[in-house]
């Protein structure tokens, strides 16, 4: 069993990643940290609490992370996020206002303390912008020697972006944070659009889970339906909705699910169309030291099996 913290900008696929982790017997979720991204941070906190209550998991503590990117304070969710995840990030679900499961301790301190306490037994999964992780590294440059593994849903190396033609949303929303994290020497496993566009859920998968007919399955099934309905209109014409954050979560707990390529990543920071694009650092091509493992393939049938079984468990009662 692995201890895991999920750092979420709780929109729909973030909620699916958390629902999955709570149903996987391999995982012990020790806390959820919430940040801005798909929605404002306050909304991410409310959405997370709504989900945990529906799942009957009010034992899981929630912590508030950063509310805006490192270098600006004027954050607002993009039009794209509002269409894909809904105005409140949770499709048409009714959200619990004023979350009371939120702990007074800030997310960054919780993560630092957990890494100190659990060391190599702890995995951190980031499924939102890299701001929280950048702040963690600013506070403790030795974090890389304390934490077990860090897995990030971030980036796109061989495929087009989703937020812009070049950039994946989690990197695009705070490229400076991604750049700090990528140059920190912290070893990372990156699960980006190169693989998450291959792990699709379709109507039959969703109907199967909705048939559980519990309040949790109603909530999560409704989120999935909203998300799938958007993807029916998406220009990529995928055969379902891409499970970005869930794939990163499953790969965090089952490392052999993905095939990775060693690389040193870089982020384009210039205010051009390419801002937020992840590329290989050409100056380090011959550097034997590779800090990043970028996912280039995934065992899709096994992913679907692990994900669906865990959801049956967490939504089933
Ligand atoms: C990522 O961006 C967010 O909209 C999703 O929740 C996911 O983390 C995909 O690019
Ligand atoms: Ca996310």
Catalogue the active-site residues: 244
Helix, strand and coil content of the chain, in percent to the nearest 5, comes to 40, 20, 40
Phi, psi values for residue 233, rounded to 5°: -105, -5
The rounded Å distance from CA 244 to ligand 1 centre is 6
Give tens-digit pLDDT for 185-213: 999 999 999 999 999 999 999 999 999 99
Could you tell me if the CB of 14 is within 6 A of ligand 1?
Answer: yes
Given a contact cutoff of 8 angstroms between Cβ atoms, the answer to whether 157 and 192 are in contact is: yes
What is the atom index within ligand 1 of the atom nearest the CA of 84? 4
Q: If you average pLDDT over every residue of the chain, what do you get?
A: 97
Could you tell me if the CB of 153 is within 6 A of ligand 1?
Answer: yes
**For 283, which DSSP code?**
G
**Rg of the chain (C-alpha set):** 18
What is the atom index within ligand 1 of the atom nearest the CA of 9? 6
> With bands split at pLDDT 50, 70 and 90, how would you rate the model's confidence at 180?
very high
pTM, two decimals, is: 0.98
- Protein residue with its CA nearest to atom 4 in ligand 1: 38
CA atoms within 13 A on the CB side of 253: 28
Could you tell me if the CB of 169 is within 6 A of ligand 1?
Answer: yes
What is the atom index within ligand 1 of the atom nearest the CA of 85? 4
Q: Which ligand is nearest to the CA of 85?
A: 1
Could you tell me if the CB of 170 is within 6 A of ligand 1?
Answer: yes
Give this complex's ipTM: 0.99
Q: Compute the distance between CA of residue 178 and CA of residue 184 in angstroms, rounded to an integer.
A: 10
Given a contact cutoff of 8 angstroms between Cβ atoms, the answer to whether 20 and 249 are in contact is: yes
Q: Which ligand is nearest to the CA of 244?
A: 1
- Nearest alpha-carbon partner for 30 in 1, 67, 4, 59: 4
- Protein residue with its CA nearest to atom 2 in ligand 1: 169
Q: Compute the distance between CA of residue 65 and CA of residue 68 in angstroms, rounded to an integer.
A: 9
> What does each C-alpha distance from 232 to 155, 167, 221, 271, 306 come to in angstroms?
23, 22, 16, 32, 25
Q: Identify which of 7, 10, 14, 242 to mutate to test ligand 1's pocket (most ligand atoms within 8 A of the CB).
A: 14
**For 102, which DSSP code?**
B
Listing DSSP states for 70-81 in one string gives TT-S-----HHH
Give tens-digit pLDDT for 223-277: 999 999 999 999 999 999 999 999 999 999 999 999 999 999 999 999 999 999 9
Given a contact cutoff of 8 angstroms between Cβ atoms, the answer to whether 33 and 107 are in contact is: yes
Q: What is the pLDDT of residue 117?
A: 98
Q: What is the pLDDT of residue 100?
A: 94
Q: Coil, helix or strand for 147?
A: coil
The rounded Å distance from CA 225 to ligand 1 centre is 17
Percent of the chain, pLDDT > 70?
A: 100
- Nearest alpha-carbon partner for 30 in 69, 60, 75, 64: 60
Could you tell me if the CB of 3 is within 6 A of ligand 1?
Answer: no
Q: Which ligand is nearest to the CA of 77?
A: 1
- Say whether pLDDT at 317 is over 90: no
What is the atom index within ligand 1 of the atom nearest the CA of 38? 4
Give tens-digit pLDDT for 20-29: 999 999 999 9
Q: What is the pLDDT of residue 196?
A: 98
- Torsion angle (degrees, nearest 10) of CA 8, 58, 220, 1: 70
- Protein residue with its CA nearest to atom 10 in ligand 1: 169
Q: Give just the sign of the alpha carbon dihedral 68, 74, 77, 80.
A: negative
- Say whether pLDDT at 109 is over 90: yes
Given a contact cutoff of 8 angstroms between Cβ atoms, the answer to whether 233 and 101 are in contact is: no
């Amino acid at each position: 069993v692995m201890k895991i913290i999920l750092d979420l900008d709780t929109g729909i696929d973030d909620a699916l990643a958390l629902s999955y982790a709570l149903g996987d017997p391999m995982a012990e979720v020790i806390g959820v940290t919430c940040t801005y991204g798909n929605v404002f941070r306050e909304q991410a906190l409310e959405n997370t609490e709504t989900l945990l209550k529906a799942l009957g998991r009010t034992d899981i503590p929630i912590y508030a992370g950063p509310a805006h990117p490192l270098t600006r304070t004027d954050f607002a969710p993009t039009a794209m996020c509002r269409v894909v995840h809904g105005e409140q990030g949770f499709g048409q679900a009714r959200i619990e206002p004023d979350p009371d499961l939120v702990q007074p301790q800030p997310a960054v301190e919780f993560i630092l303390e957990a890494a100190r306490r659990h060391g190599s037994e702890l995995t951190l999964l980031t499924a939102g912008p890299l701001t929280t992780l950048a702040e963690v590294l600013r506070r403790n440059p030795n974090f890389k020697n304390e934490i077990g593994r860090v897995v990030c849903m971030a980036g796109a190396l061989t495929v087009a972006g989703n937020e812009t033609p070049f950039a994946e949303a989690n990197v695009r929303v705070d490229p400076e944070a991604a750049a700090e994290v990528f140059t920190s020497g912290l070893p990372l496993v990156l699960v980006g659009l190169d693989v998450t566009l291959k792990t699709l859920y379709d109507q039959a998968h969703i109907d199967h889970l909705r048939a559980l007919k519990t309040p949790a399955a109603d909530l999560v099934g409704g989120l999935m339906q909203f998300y799938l309905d958007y993807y029916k209109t998406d220009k990529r014409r995928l055969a379902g909705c891409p499970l970005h954050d869930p794939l990163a979560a499953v790969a965090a707990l089952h490392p052999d699910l993905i095939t990775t390529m060693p690389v040193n990543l870089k982020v384009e920071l210039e205010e051009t169309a390419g801002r937020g694009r992840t590329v290989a650092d050409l100056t380090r091509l011959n550097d034997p030291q590779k800090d990043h493992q970028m996912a280039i393939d995934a065992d899709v049938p096994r992913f679907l099996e692990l994900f669906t079984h865990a959801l049956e468990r967490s939504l089933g009662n």
